[in-house]
Amino acid sequence: MQLPSTLLENAVNEFAKLPGIGKKTALRMVLHLLKQNANEVELFSETIAKMRREIKFCQRCFNISDSDICAICANRQRKQEMICVVENIRDVIAIESTQQFNGTYHVLGGVISPLDGIGPDQLNIASLVHRIGEEKTAEIIFALSPNIQGDTTIYYIQKKIQHLPCTVTTIARGIAFGGELEYADEMTLARSMANRLPVQQYVKS
């Protein structure tokens, strides 16, 4: 893409680094900013710089936070003895949006994936194991993606905490609500059969 200004080109290249943004979209965004008045664009860039500079990660659960301990960990109304283990912050946001979970979280920062060079040491696993022992956690709920990496991670953590007296569960895996049974893949259908629920429990949820 031939651009008439290096300044413009630099800005386009920065936007194009964002996920899902190609050069054309980046150019459209930059040209849009050029139409705004200078103060607004200052505010835009300062908001982003300030977010990056000042945002913190909760020291207990690694969720994003404005202070050392996040709002979820600081909330005494929530079941502090229950930990939902997730891969990333987007998962926390997704589960919070359901308004169905009243415990706390632990953000691993990824899952074990030897092919991508991600081992347990690169993830917040040691802190989780330490936390469960220290806080005498009653229940751990694994809410990880249903794939080999997710299962490997569950297996690894489960081995590390099996000596501790906490209940370990995982979110149900099965046919998506509104999905058609005949189109489900064999693995999903097999898991749904294996993890079947008493109807009374199903109707309640």
Helix (H) or strand (E) holding 141: strand 139-142
Shortest Å distance, C-beta 75 to Zn ion: 9
Shortest Å distance, C-beta 164 to Zn ion: 20
Please provide residue 117's backbone torsions phi and psi, each rounded to the nearest 5 degrees: 75, 20
d(CA 133, CA 117): 28
Closer residue to Zn ion, CB minimum distance, 30 or 92: 92
d(CA 133, CA 124): 15
Number of other CB atoms surrounding residue 83 within 10 Å: 24
Q: CA torsion angle for 185, 189, 190, 191 (degrees, to 10)?
A: 110
Closer residue to Zn ion, CB minimum distance, 63 or 153: 63
Closer residue to Zn ion, CB minimum distance, 12 or 62: 62
| Residues at the site binding Zn ion, with contacts judged by CB under 5 A | 58, 60-61, 63, 70, 73
Shortest Å distance, C-beta 80 to Zn ion: 10
Q: Which two tokens stand for residue 79?
A: 């079941």
Shortest Å distance, C-beta 74 to Zn ion: 8
Which of 126, 84, 129, 132 has the alpha carbon at shortest distance from 106? 84
d(CA 49, CA 46): 5
Closer residue to Zn ion, CB minimum distance, 62 or 142: 62
Closer residue to Zn ion, CB minimum distance, 103 or 174: 103
Shortest Å distance, C-beta 154 to Zn ion: 21
